[in-house]
Amino acid sequence: MTENQSVISSLENGVLKLTLNRPDKLNAFNEEMHLALRTGIERAHNEADVRTVLLTGAGRGFCAGQDLGDRDPRKSDEKPDLGHTLDTFYNPTLRLIRELEKPVVCAVNGVAAGAGANIAFACDIVLAARSAKFIQAFSKIGLIPDAGGSWSLTRILGEPRAKALALLAEPVMAEQAESWGLIWKAVDDDALLDAALAIADKLALGPTVGLGLTKRLIQAAGTQDLDTHLDMERDCQRAAGFTDDYAEGVTAFLEKRPAVFKGK
Ligand code: LHQ
């Protein structure tokens, strides 16, 4: 286990668990936590031993978005360049999560506000504690939903709900988020981590290449036509068919035993 100030990281049974760890600030992002989270996701990209990522938060919050204490306008005469903040910190991490060809499970243990909510929505399977809520807090401080929020909310919910959430900054409780399809499931608070870990463990024992290609296809489906997509499915299925895990899956089926996937 690697512990630093802002992200706790541990690898067990192929699951890289990344815990946002600034609980006094509800795990709001400062520069150090940004870089530590990015390092964790990069590790998942680079190490074959990592077959699934599990992202969660320490304490009573998941993530309160940007640390606004770092952004006190009273301490500077200059207007800030928030576009630079997005280019430097948020957007690289969002892209890394989406481009990672391994599943990312997110366990939202408490409030997820601003970019904290939208990082959760970028993950592949999102569970939330029943007491958790999601808040597009941006409009309260004159900002737009970033960290992919204006994209993912619109795609998942459609314009009416995306606009209401973003313009009104009203909280959405976990069960409502589940019924709207914003997340996979709301679970009892004390069952959250076990439930998320069970999913992560299962995925880490899965055919990693095939799972990664599936993620790629589903993400591409919203932005391309069927004709293009059928070609992409052909190419991905070809690649999946070349894996050892495909041969193992079929062999195991024929031998009437559970498959033992190696992730390659
Ligand atoms: C915080 C924060 C926080 C610092 C709670 N910062 N301390 C991108 C580009 C560049 C710049 C700007 O931003 C962005 C992306 C964004 O994410 S913008 C959105 C930023 N986030 C917010 O506006 C959310 C601000 N927080 C809240 O509205 C509330 O704290 C929520 C609704 C999350 C939770 O409310 P409560 O459960 O009532 O907790 P609390 O407000 O009492 O917070 C607990 C502590 O955490 C408290 O510190 P204290 O020392 O008083 O105990 C807060 O100051 C601190 N905290 N969020 N973002």
- Of 26, 93, 131, best ligand 1 pocket probe by most atoms within 8 Å of the beta carbon: 26
Full pLDDT tens readout for the chain, 264 residues? 555 589 999 999 999 999 999 999 999 999 999 999 999 999 999 999 999 999 999 999 999 999 999 888 998 889 999 999 999 999 999 999 999 999 999 999 999 999 999 999 999 999 999 999 999 999 999 999 999 999 999 999 999 999 999 999 999 999 999 999 999 999 999 999 999 999 999 999 999 999 999 999 999 999 999 999 999 999 999 999 999 999 999 999 999 999 999 999
Q: Which residues line ligand 1 (CB under 6 A)?
A: 25-26, 28, 64-69, 71, 82, 85-86, 111, 113-115, 135, 137-138, 141, 143, 146
Residue 231: helix, strand or coil by DSSP? helix
Question: In a 10 Å sphere around its CB, with 0-12 CB exposed, 13-18 middle and 19+ buried, how is residue 130 labelled?
Answer: middle
| Alpha helices, H only, the chain | 31-46, 82-85, 91-99, 115-122, 149-157, 159-168, 174-180, 192-204, 208-221, 226-241, 244-254
Residue with tokens 């299925």: 237
Tell me, what's the pLDDT at 71? 82
pTM (predicted TM-score) = 0.97
| List of residues 6+ apart from 252 with CB closer than 8 A | 258, 259, 260
What domains are there in the chain, each with its CATH number?
2-204 (3.90.226.10), 208-254 (1.10.12)
